[in-house]
Structure 1
Amino acid sequence: MKLVIKYMLLFLLMVSLGCASNPKPKYSEAELESLNTAVTQKSFEVDARWARPMPDPALTSIANAGLVPQGSTINRINITGTSSYLRVKNDSVMADLPYYGERQMGGTYNPIKGGVHFKGLAKDFSMEPTKKDSGVAVKFSVNEGPENYQVHIQLYPSGTSNISVVSSHRTPIWYDGTWTPDRLE
């Protein structure tokens, strides 16, 4: 009986240690300072590496036809090397991001600029620290012609970032990538 109690205690100890939460990531002072400077000066650029569209039957058909890039799936498409960016400079924002998804409203189709393209002044610009880590959440909206974009960016001290783009004319899409302080001074 004592042996069973010992094994039960050992089992409970192992389970409680295994369920411990992960420690917060440790960032260097230089990484934190770089993030704070870029956000305070509103001067950074995000280089998108992965597009994460909302899967739907049309994208599934494209994937089944073998038209998704090598190493990609319909809900995570490698866009490295496509010069995809989102840039914030003071109150100006600009983006050139590929778009995978469905257009929900009619409008003109421009085969040269079929992606998420905008260049203009940000409206409702806000920045706040993220709740779970040392990152910063940046939010704004911008119009490009008749289309309105709601953009949410999460920047992390490690140099990684996430972008969410909700359009008035298309299904939402997300991007993963890296950010750097804006090099265009």
Structure 2
Amino acid sequence: MKTFRNIFAVLLILTALPVFAQTDKATTERLVNAQDFVFVATRALPLSSQDVFAVMSSMPNPNASGSIALTGAQYDLRIKKDSVIAFLPYYGRAYQASMNPDDSGIKFKSKDFKYVKKERKKGGWTITIEPNDVKDNQRLTLYVSENGYGTLNVLNNNRQSITFNGFISEPKAKK
């Protein structure tokens, strides 16, 4: 019985860990102000459409909520003072299709971009990024909470908008 209680306690602790904040307020503020962080996407929320629902319902264990868990892959948006690098999936309707299969998803590298950071009244930040040197006209709006959680909204002239939930973290040092 004591072993059962210990196993139960460990499982309870492990399931409660994701509830805690990703970073503390000081670390999040430092990362946002330094303009050097990574937004790691954990869920994708495409616009509601019959096409996306049809694809989702054909998958095993379909999720009726319309959100897609992004497990197993590292989808992110890397922001530095001199560059923005996006590697995110895309689910939704494209109004203008690309003939290159490598153009799927939201993938770009930009050295020429507009970066606007505004502090929100109830805490956190709204960061707007508009790359000038990428093929599609895109606008990325990142809402960051004080504890490091974020919501990224991607608007594109050639596709339906898509939203990602995730968190920000420090960039990993290269070896």
Distance in 2 between residues matched to 1:121 and 1:70, nearest whole Å: 41
Q: What letter matches 1:44 in structure 2? A: F
Distance in 2 between residues matched to 1:135 and 1:87, nearest whole Å: 19
1:87 is matched with: 78
CA contact (8 A) 1:53 1:100 kept: yes
- Is 1:52 the counterpart of 2:41? The answer is no
Distance in 2 between residues matched to 1:143 and 1:70, nearest whole Å: 40
Q: How far off its partner does 1:136 sit?
A: 1.1
Distance in 1 between residues matched to 2:134 and 2:147, nearest whole Å: 35
CA contact (8 A) 1:93 1:120 kept: yes
Cα deviations across residues 126-165 of structure 1 (Å, max 9, x unaligned)? 1011233x21111011146431210000112222111000
Q: CA RMSD in A?
A: 2.1
Worse overlay, 154-163 or 140-149: 140-149
Q: How far off its partner does 1:70 sit?
A: 3.7
% same residue? 24
Distance in 2 between residues matched to 1:127 and 1:180, nearest whole Å: 17
Matched residue SS, 1:146? coil
Matched residue SS, 1:171? strand
Larger radius of gyration: 1
Q: How far off its partner does 1:74 sit?
A: 6.0
Matched residue SS, 1:154? strand
Matched residue SS, 1:112? helix
Are the structure 2 counterparts of residues 81 and 73 from structure 1 closer, same or farther at C-alpha, using a change threshold of 3 Å?
Answer: farther
**Alignment gaps of 5+ in structure 2:** 1-20
1:167 is matched with: 156
The two structures have a TM-score, normalised by structure 2, of 0.78
Residue number among 78, 82, 90 corresponding to 2:69 in the alignment: 78
Q: How far off its partner does 1:98 sit?
A: 0.5
Distance in 2 between residues matched to 1:93 and 1:166, nearest whole Å: 16
CA contact (8 A) 1:89 1:182 kept: no
- Is 1:38 the counterpart of 2:28? The answer is no
Distance in 1 between residues matched to 2:37 and 2:148, nearest whole Å: 11
The two structures have a TM-score, normalised by structure 1, of 0.74
Q: What letter matches 2:96 in structure 1? A: M
Distance in 2 between residues matched to 1:100 and 1:73, nearest whole Å: 15
Residue number among 142, 165, 171 corresponding to 1:176 in the alignment: 165
Cα deviations across residues 83-106 of structure 1 (Å, max 9, x unaligned)? 100010113101100100011124
Q: Count the aligned residue pairs.
A: 153
